[in-house]
Amino acid sequence: MPRRLLCADEAALAALELTELVGKKRPTKQRAPSKSKARKDIREMLTSGQFQNVRASHLVALYEWCHEQVYGVAPAELEQGKTWQHAVFAAARLMREEFDGNGEAAVEFIRWTWQREQAREMAIRSNGLERVGRIGWRVQFVQRHVVTDYRLYLARRRSGACSPTCRKSLPTS
């Protein structure tokens, strides 16, 4: 279908609208902190107990810190290529989709995951067994079965169907 020719006024108006659009800058997104900055920030947050401004990169740094505390080694895969950035994207999606963008709620989820993992790790070691698997970044941020376990824990805790150990594992806030 042939295009309709614009009259001079319509052409001038279209050109004006186009220059207004071209002249406008897109709103810039706030950049995620670098890996080293996120690591530094999360250590400060852990010390202060204040997680109000937590972002996805901080969640990955928290995951990394917890991994080191529970297993005694850093998750080496986060140092390979773009894996850190992939983990940050996954953490952002988890925070957005499962916790309505609430970083503090995502921190509580990560805290619960690692408290549970630490208890499991201690039980395995005390029985002289060897661990087969571990919590990798994909399990923490991509696979939703851990989120389901967390929701089950919260529901049991609210209903009082939780064991005394279960009740003590997370501080009430």
Whether the CA torsion 143, 168, 42, 120 is positive or negative: it is negative
Choose between 66 and 129: higher pLDDT. 66
pLDDT in tens, 29-86: 566 678 999 999 999 999 999 999 999 999 999 999 999 999 999 999 999 889 999 9
Q: Give the lowest-confidence range in 22-31, 65-74, 114-123, 164-173.
A: 164-173
User: What integer is the mean pLDDT of 104-108?
Assistant: 97
pLDDT in tens, 40-52: 999 999 999 999 9
pLDDT confidence of residue 170: 46
Cα angle for residues 147, 116, 102 (degrees, 5° grid): 40
Cα angle for residues 63, 92, 74 (degrees, 5° grid): 20
pLDDT confidence of residue 173: 42
Whether residue 46 contacts residue 65, with contact meaning beta carbons closer than 8 Å, is answered with yes
User: What residue segments make up the domains of the chain, in order of their start?
Assistant: 35-168
pLDDT confidence of residue 168: 53
Q: How many secondary structure helices (H) and strands (E) does the chain include?
A: 8, 0
